[in-house]
A and B are shown apart, each in its own frame.
Chain A
Amino acid sequence: MAYTDKIRGMYTEILTNLKDAGLFKQERYIHSAQAADIEVEFPSGASLKKVINICANNYLGLSSHPEVIKAAHAGLDSHGYGMSSVRFICGTQDIHKKLEQMITQFLRTEDTILFPSCMDANAGVFEAVLTKDDVMISDRLVHASIIDGIRLCSAMHDTFKHSDMEHLENKLQLHNDKRVKIVITDGVFSMDGDTAKLDKMVELCEKYDALLFVDDSHASGFIGKTGRGTHEHCGVLGKIDIITTTFGKGLGGASGGCVSGRKELVEMCRQKARPYLFSNTIAPPVVAGVIKVLEILSASTDRRDKLEKNTKFWRKGLIDAGLIIKEGDTPIVPVMLFNAKLSQDVSRDLYQEGIYAIGFFFPVVPQGQARIRTQISAGHEIHHLEKALDAFTKVGKKYEILGKSKQEIIERYGM
């Protein structure tokens, strides 16, 4: 046996060290479908507890929407469970092409290619379209999946300070000799909930002949007046060269993602992107579900409008309660606690109050910026949010953080 006691001991020690450092991730078992109200078993073996979920990416409340479930059932019946193939061998069905066309229309791009996930889209896209003669210039806070894609690509890589347009311009000047320059950003940043300055970025990219890449996973379906994404919000529809996004958040919450953008770049992905070429096609019921999601969102903006109202209510409620939040207008609303242990204590106490929200701390967020990241959904009703606000107020009182400044919280609890 090659898996010796010595090797087992080595891994056990690594895992123990993670636990000792408070970095061990423990999963909570949800016994119901994803929704505003869920039933949770935590810790493992504990009796089920009914809680309000305010940490899902279920922005539009479509994860368990009856019409989406019905469409997925119909897709399962008509097109089967799986294709047992990658796309280019025998894994492309009519519904895969239909979904690609619908996304192209929804995002107002030229063409679209599906990937098993947005993680895969980000992992494959740069390597497919760039060479060592090119440069990738990314915001310093882009998502981990983009970082992985960048690592897999032979092009030069540089960064600019988060949302700092002057710094980005310096970098575009510095790398002006490169064959292709591509500026890379998230549309909405997942940890802070702030929005990229895509209007300014488009201007700079036009000035320096650079391409613009946007990962709009935390925006597709609800940011912008008709939910097309950050490019609609910033008034630059049709001007983004590559958009990647996921179907695992607002757009139904199951799985899958895509690259959407200039048709030649999409075709390069179809020919060369390794996660596309070497992994299975998206399962038919999921494709059918996402098609229904896009039909719902194209017919009406009711859900994104409700999400906008809920978000405003939630942000105002937290501020009125005396908590510190990151400014912005997206449904990602971080409640800042600064201290890692405090974020864990508050999360635990909220759970006792029937509110499911997770504390994030270093290294997921920078040192001294621990927080509870809350995420609002169109699936929430005002009574859910009121109950959650009551819980935050009760727990905030317990820890005496209401109405306190960042400095006061840090002085009391440390960084």
Chain B
Amino acid sequence: MEEMKDVIKDYVIKEYVEDDTEVTYDTPLISGGIVDSFSMVSLKRFLENKYQISIPDDKATPEVFDSVNKIVALVKEYIK
């Protein structure tokens, strides 16, 4: 099974990157201007559908979505 962090990284690149910007597991996504705060919602919904989890809105802050590694940590918190 593909590793979660690669699934998430691939999604971020496909969804948000429109040029040749390199995205690593630690690239700042929101503070780095790759994902705008409006677009965070689709990332949250993608994670919820993909991993069958529910992330409360008040936990879905720009800080916890700011890199692939941080997102992986967040998802793991909610996987039963």
Q: How far is the CB of B75 from chain A (nearest CB, A)?
A: 17
Q: Is the CB of B42 within 8 A of A158?
A: yes
- Shortest CB distance A17–B (Å): 19
C-alpha gap A171/B43 in the complex (Å): 11
A-B pairs with beta carbons under 8 Å apart, 21 shown: A138-B38, A150-B38, A156-B41, A157-B38, A157-B41, A158-B38, A158-B39, A158-B41, A158-B42, A158-B45, A159-B36, A159-B38, A159-B39, A159-B42, A161-B18, A171-B42, A174-B42, A174-B45, A174-B46, A174-B49, A175-B45
Residue on B with the closest CB to A138? Answer: B38
- A-B interface, 7 closest residue pairs, ranked by CB to CB distance from nearest: A158-B42, A158-B41, A159-B39, A157-B38, A156-B41, A174-B45, A159-B38
Chain A residues 285 to 335 lying within 8 A of chain B, measured CB to CB, are: none
By secondary structure, the B interface counts as helix
Q: How many A-B residue pairs have CB under 8 A?
A: 21
A209-233 CB contacts (< 8 Å) to partner B: none
In the bound assembly, the distance between CA atoms of A158 and B46 in angstroms comes to 12
How far, in Å, is A365 (CB) from chain B's closest CB?
Answer: 14
* Interface bracket on A: 10 to 19
Q: How far is the CB of B47 from chain A (nearest CB, A)?
A: 12
Q: How far is the CA of A158 from the CA of B40 in the complex (A)?
A: 8
Most chain A beta carbons < 10 A, residue from B42, B45, B46 = B42
Task: Give chain B nearest CB distance to A71 CB in angstroms.
Answer: 42
Chain A residues with CB under 8 A of B18: 161
- Residues in B whose Cβ lies below 8 Å from that of A138: 38
**CB nearest neighbor in A for B33:** A367
Q: How far is the CB of A128 from chain B (nearest CB, A)?
A: 20
Q: How far is the CB of A151 from chain B (nearest CB, A)?
A: 9
Which residues of chain B are near A156, meaning CB under 8 Å? 41
Q: Chain A 155-189, CB within 8 Å of chain B: the 1/0 string?
A: 01111010000000001001100000000000000
Residues of B within 8 Å of A157, CB to CB, are: 38, 41
